[in-house]
Structure 1
Amino acid sequence: MNSTVIPAVLLVCLMVLDLAAAQWEISGGISATNSGAVKAEVKVTFKWGKRKSRSTREEVFDVMLYMVNTQTGSSVRLNPCDFALYDQDGDMEVTMKDFDLMFAQMEKDQHRLIEQLFNELDRDHDGKISLMEFEKMKRHVISKKSCS
């Protein structure tokens, strides 16, 4: 195998890993000695913490909620970080039924996003979002610019 192929393959592998995990610093070179041998030197430094780490499940949603007066057509922007908005039946728990009521006018292809939002807020995956879960998760799931 050609002696330049191995460092090139290593470099490509490291670049792929960089996209998936963290930041790498790579330095080195290839040189030939007087005896004709090839010397390859590669220094690799791996750093965590430069990028914000997120689990593969976690997403941040930019949520805009409006209350529309059907008679006048005027609308008022609501705070999507207010638990009471999501609790449509007032039972102090938010279920997918509450989300369905609230987002009923949304197009069918966007409903998947609503399910994802619900699943991200439902920390213990019991099919209900309690007030404590909502307060704990909203800053991780709903973008800061959404909360008014």
Structure 2
Amino acid sequence: MKHLTVAILLALLPLGIAQAQEEAQEQMHEEELVEQLEQAQGQPIDTLKQAVDALELRNDLLDVLLSKNELTEGDMAIIQQLTETIDNALAKIDEELGIMREHVQEVRSGAGDREQARIRENGQAYLERIKTLMQ
């Protein structure tokens, strides 16, 4: 009976080690994301690129935090900061989408009026913005 218990414990040991390693990796990943977040705190979101970059970092950290079984008070404070910045980034993206719509409408109107310069100018402006968004 004693040998059976030892055998079962030895069989389960790799599972425990694997779980501990996974938890350590998640902790390191979370710490890296928090460090990146702290470095980016206070930076304004003035461009579409900044908005996309801000969303990428904050969405990754939010995903890590939401995967936890239980959120701490510290986690909730971080989530509050994250969502404030996410909201600002989404507002900037919304503003940029409006500008993109205007450029596409100008391209359409330019095509109807056979104005190549208008088509090219607005088409290029649209494509520059959409490429940033689609990265």
Scaled by the length of structure 2, the TM-score of the pair is 0.24
Structure that is richer in helix per residue? 2
Scaled by the length of structure 1, the TM-score of the pair is 0.22
Asked which structure has the greater RCO (Cα within 8 Å, sep 6+), the reply is 2
